């Protein structure tokens, strides 16, 4: 990994572990100020994908219109 990606990985780990990994990918990306694509790639490389909370879609809110 590049030094930039190592820095982001450190930030991801710090933010997510403090929250008990009870965060979604989008929440982590927003917290560290990086795109979800960069954060997703780092999470995959570090094999942390099973630690984060799943993205969930509120189907009821989607179909209430």
Q: Please report, for residues 5, 33, 62, the alpha-carbon distance to residue 20 in angstroms, rounded to integers and kept in the order given.
A: 22, 19, 29
Per-residue pLDDT tens for 28-54?
A: 999 999 999 999 999 999 999 889 988
Q: Check if the beta carbon of residue 29 is closer than 8 Å to that of residue 36.
A: yes
Q: What is the model's pTM? A: 0.80
pLDDT for the residue numbered 6: 97
Domain ranges of the chain: 3-63
**CA 34, CA 8: separation in Å to the nearest integer?**
8
């Amino acid at each position: 990994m590049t030094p930039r990606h190592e820095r982001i990985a450190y930030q991801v780990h710090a933010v997510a572990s403090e929250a008990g990994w009870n965060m979604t990918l989008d929440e982590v990306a927003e917290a560290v100020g990086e795109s979800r694509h960069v954060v997703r790639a780092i999470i995959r490389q570090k094999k942390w994908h099973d630690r984060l909370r799943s993205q969930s879609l509120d189907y009821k809110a989607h179909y209430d219109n």
